[in-house]
Structure 1
Amino acid sequence: MISESRSLGYTKKRKGKNGKYRYTACYVDIKGRLRSAGTFTNKKEADKAWQRAEVEVSRGRTGDPARGRQRFKDYVEDVWLPNHQVEVTTRESYTYAIYRHIMPTFGSMRMIDILPEHVREWITALKNQGMRPVTIRYNKIILSAIFTTAMDDQVTFIHPCRGVRTPPVVRKPLEIITPEQFDDVYHALPEGSFRLLAETEIESGLRWGELSELRVKDVNLRTRILTVSRTVVELNPKFHPEGRHFLVKDYPKDKEYRRFKLSTQITEKIEDHVRTAKLTQDDLLFQMPPQDKPRARITEIPDPETLGCTEPNEKGRTYNHGTLSAYTAGRCRCDYCRGAFTLYRAKRRSEGKDTPRPRRARETDGHIPNDWFRRNIWCPALPAAGLNFRPTMRDLRHAHASWLLNGGADLQVVKERLGHASIATTERYLHTLPDADETALEALARTRNRSTTRK
């Protein structure tokens, strides 16, 4: 039997067509296959080539101490990231966190040199930078996952993250939007499909990816049963298999389909929307609106002599409002000065002197981007409710669960409806509305009043 430490590489001499000798460097890879490390003009170079190849092979053998001498950056980029099986959204998040927060500290260090003391120093540095405890914990989870795999691969024999603590993450109480507050926001939304989208969310508790991927065929209008079988995620194109922005997954977050019933009134509104918009069974129920509406343009500027002058610039000069000089030299950005510059640029473009920049449009395949909806539709409607916090569409999912439990719905039914993996997650929504403890207070008052009447 051949010893594991014995060299299996060699140099093979062969004669070329021109009569000159060539030397091929041969080595055996980790799977026992004979491979070539290249062909050279002299034996010395060939020997060096197969020896280098054997060193690389040895790094792949279990228990070889040389494996731990590779840099953290090389292990993560060559081994861990390419082969770690996670969702594409998780891979995108992991990649950002690794290069933003982990690689600057550990990238140049050898795997065997990273110790718990280095991890503690790193956590302290992140805390001193003002990073939130929940973000520190997330980054430490990623680092720990890397070293767990490294230990399984026998790259290292010590786990530097074990026993290292992160700052405590305090779980804040959920702020739940009340039915009255939701009604105020609802009526401040643009009429049409966006109101229906918000109402469907509050009545179903869907995650945003499930809601924005909802199609006509997913709602049985006769039985009022909604089937959640897909979700859509938005990605940086370099993480998308086809270089796009939206990726539809044929399963929701919990990787199990779920079905539940909708109320009669929301089903009727959905049916009316499908009929009015002439949607087919495969169409998205809520679609990104057209983005080709032209911007409003100013067409006329009053006489600049009647508009007054700008504030003095750094040279003490003033200019009449509504002139190019006021915009460029006076740096005034009032409506009149902006209008004068707009008209000037429009005239040059009409004369072919400038190439107009194409109108910016959000790249989408019909799905509504979460951040676009938040900035352009949802947030502008929030001031109407006079809230002291800014609820998101995810908070409507929280509100759905809280309203159900506050109304007496069974805890297990709510868990299945929302697709929670654990009932402990659903229990978080118990007693979250402002009036949820009224019954307890009334019981307390009755007990105290009983002692007062005795006196």
Structure 2
Amino acid sequence: MGWVKRRESTKGTIRYIACYRDIRGKTRSAGTYSTETQAERAWQKAENDLAAGRIGDPKRGRQRFEVYVTGTWFPNHGMELSTRQNYHYLISKHLMPQFGSMRMVDILPEHVREWLTAMQADKVPAQTRRHAKAVLDAIFTTAFNDQVTRLHAGRGVKRPTVAKKTKQILTAAQYDRIHAAIGAGEHDGEMMQLLVETDIETGMRWGELTELRVKDLDADADVVTIARVVVKLDPQFHPEGKRFHVKEYPKDGEWRQLKIARHLAGKLVDFAKARGLAPDDLFFQFAQPTEAKRRKRPEVLPDPMTLGWTEPHPKSGRQFRHGTITAYSGMKCRCQYCRDAMSAYRAERRAMGKDEPRKLRAPDTDGHIDGNWFRNQVFYPAVKAAGITFKVTPKSMRDAHASWLLAGGADLQIVKERLGHGSITTTEQYLGTLPGAGDAALSALDAIRGARTPADLQAEPSTAKEGTPDMAELMKMMASIKDTYERLAS
């Protein structure tokens, strides 16, 4: 039960303070007013609002989705900093426009289905729709458990199906070409080559690899300890407003030790000595540029009259010739010809003293290599130079490591522990991913089908040598399987 406290100022003005007790019994103020009636209404409203926060009170479900998520769920929901950043984006971008103004109690499964259908119509990627639905389910699970709502609006609503694409694994020859192209690049080829070699030899995640320090290597035992991981964050989600945050545990929450090849351990030791690295230093450190990067352009620009026209401007309908400043500025054309023309124009102005050189762009980093920078400046150019046509990312190094181990006969459980997977099902996805992994299945099929026609045999050349003891044993086994099958069939 609240009350009103009368207060008189030094000038003799009478004011009234609305008082009430919160759920912990502490005295709170609901404001100061000029009349006693206003103060009475204020403490009554404050107590009603307080009652709406009690378990089982139906008033809790009347709060807006936005109020519940931003005021209760998101601030108090325990999660990793990188996960919090991703959730913030999904909630702001995909959840709030649809559910923000709705009351929690009014959101039904049919509204969730409409939302998913609308996102599909807007061509939101299936993976994004799946993640957004997972966040919505997490919100309503908490709301249902805390009795904010009596219905879980996401339960029973099918998540979008995300097709699992076949993994295309790098072969050893393709990796060698990428490795060589990285060494010929302009960004510390020695260090970048050692980075990708360490990646494909250990299968570490990017955050584990770029947080690897000299002290984590036991050169005598050829063992690397993965004890930390670094994540890149928006400064608003970083505890200290920075870009990179080091977690004192890897993704699976457990330290793990990896046995590495003797030659790789020797390369890491030699690299640390040559660079003068201390035990706490990163093996792979980002070096800030000392001068602005200048894009190379041809000495002689082509005649714009020979380059054709841009697409019509969406508003004016005008067209511009490629290789001109007007196309670059008016149409915002970024083809190579228009970029070269603008680059030449700016160079002429700088030569005449009319413009100053562009300021040096320095990535915001504390020494860790930024993943986006590495992909765009080092890895993708090397992939292109290596002549690889399918999509390859730095994660392909980890995929290749897992696939190569399994194809070479490594135990599935050992590979799981080496990669730090939480479930062996995740590791199983790498079984049979290398080219030629289906040869055993084809051999079994040939054993049942029997002899082929000469055309079939010529179309499918054997990869095994008939003269070897293993091949002879295999042929004998196939004949035995065929005889058994024919007896059962008869």
Match of 2:223 among 219, 222, 225: 225
Report the equivalent of 1:359: 360
Q: Distance in 2 between matches of 1:317 and 1:299?
A: 21
The equivalent of 1:163 in structure 2 is 156
Which residue type is aligned with residue 387 of structure 1?
A: I
Aligned residues: 436
Q: Deviations over 1:150-188 (max 9, x none)?
A: 122221111111111133222222221111111111111
Query: Equivalences for 1:47-446 in 2 at 5 Å?
Result: 47-190=40-183, 191-296=189-294, 333=338, 335=340, 338-348=343-353, 354=355, 356-446=357-447
For structure 2, the residue ranges without an aligned partner over 5 or more in a row are: 184-188, 310-316, 452-478
1:108-135 CA distance string (max 9 Å, x none): 1111111111111111111112223332
Which secondary structure does the structure 2 equivalent of 1:368 belong to? coil
Supply the AA of the counterpart residue of 1:379: Y
2:473 counterpart residue number: none
Q: 1:317 to 1:233 in 2, by over 3 A?
A: closer
Query: In 2, distance between residues paired with 1:327 and 1:340?
Result: 11
CA contact (8 A) 1:24 1:37 kept: yes
CA contact (8 A) 1:201 1:396 kept: yes
User: Could you say what secondary structure the match of 1:348 adopts?
Assistant: coil
CA distance in 1, matches of 2:351, 2:271: 40
> How much does 1:386 deviate?
3.3
* Superposition deviation, residue 87 in structure 1: 0.5
Partner of 1:42: 35
CA change 1:63–1:363 in 2 (3 A) is: same
Cα distance change of structure 1 residues 333 and 147 upon mapping to structure 2, 3 Å threshold? closer
Partners of 2:433 and 2:356 in 1: how far apart? 57
- Which of 238-247 and 379-388 deviates more? 379-388
Quick one: structure 1 residues 119 and 217, their matched pair in 2 at CA, closer, same or farther if it must change by over 3 Å?
same
SS at match of 2:352: helix
Scaled by the length of structure 2, the TM-score of the pair is 0.81
* Matched residue type, 2:379: W
Q: Is the 8 A contact 1:299 1:343 kept in 2?
A: no
Q: Residue type of the partner of 1:50?
A: W
In the TM superposition, what whole-angstrom CA distance separates every residue of 1:255-300 from its partner, at most 9, and x where no partner exists?
Answer: 1000021001111111121111111111110111331234448999
SS of 1:253's equivalent in the other structure is coil
Instruction: After superposition, give the CA deviation of every residue in 1:231-260 in whole Å (9 maximum; x if it has no partner).
Output: 000011111111111000000000100002
Q: Is this contact kept in 2: 1:310–1:326, CA < 8 A?
A: no
Q: Spell out, residue by residue over 1:394-439, the C-alpha distance to the aligned partner (whole angstroms, 9 max, x if none).
A: 1211111111111111111111111111111111111111122223
Q: Alpha carbons of 1:301 and 1:343: their partners in 2 closer, same or farther (altered >3 Å)?
A: farther
Which residue is equivalent to 2:314? none
Q: How many angstroms does 1:325 deviate by?
A: 10
Contact 1:30 1:60 in 2 (8 A): no
What secondary structure is seen at the aligned counterpart in 2 of 1:67?
A: helix
Q: CA deviation at 1:47?
A: 1.2
Amino acid at match of 1:397: R
User: What are the Cα deviations for residues 86-119 of structure 1, in whole angstroms up to 9, with x where unaligned?
Assistant: 1011111111011111111111111111111111
Structure 1, unpaired ranges of 5+: 1-7
Change (3 A) 1:185 1:40: same
- The CA distance in 2 between the partners of 1:309 and 1:70, in whole Å, is 62
What is the CA-CA distance between 1:441 and the residue it aligns to? 2.9
Structure 1 residue 357 displacement after superposition: 4.1
1:382 counterpart letter in structure 2: V
Cα distance in 2 for residues equivalent to 1:207 and 1:192: 21
* Cα shift at 1:18: 4.1
- Matched letter for residue 426 of structure 1: T
- Alpha-carbon distance in structure 2 between the residues aligned to 1:427 and 1:329: 53
TM-score (norm 1): 0.87
Q: Provide the alpha-carbon RMSD of the alignment.
A: 3.1
Letter aligned with residue 34 of structure 1: T
Task: Give the partner amino acid of 2:435.
Answer: P
**C-alpha contact (below 8 Å) 2:224/2:257 kept by paired residues:** yes
Compute the displacement of 1:14 (Å): 4.0
Q: What is the DSSP-based 3-state SS (H/G/I as helix, E as strand, rest coil) of the residue aligned with 1:175? A: coil
- 8 Å CA contact 1:101, 1:139 repeated in 2: yes
Supply the distance in 2 between the matched residues of 1:32 and 1:72 (Cα, whole angstroms).
28
Aligned identity (percent) is 46
- Whether contact under 8 Å (2:288, 2:362) holds in the other structure is no
Q: CA deviation at 1:326?
A: 11
One-letter code aligned to 1:441: L
C-alpha distance 101-371 of structure 1, shift in aligned 2 (>3 A): same
State the match for 2:19 in structure 1: 26
Structure 1 partner of 2:3 = 10
- Deviation for aligned residue 1:385: 3.8
1:348 is matched by which residue type in structure 2? G
Contact 1:298 1:343 in 2 (8 A): no
AA aligned to 1:416 is E
Give the Cα–Cα distance (whole angstroms) in 2 for the partners of residues 421 and 326 of structure 1. 53
Instruction: Go from structure 1 to structure 2 and tell me whether the alpha carbon gap of 1:74 and 1:355 turns closer, same or farther (over 3 Å shift).
Output: farther
SS at match of 1:147: helix
Is the Cα–Cα contact under 8 Å of residues 297 and 340 in structure 2 kept in the other structure? no
> Displacement, 1:315?
11
User: Matched residues in 2 for 1:216 and 1:280: separation?
Assistant: 7
Alignment partners' CA distance in 2, 1:22 and 1:442: 94
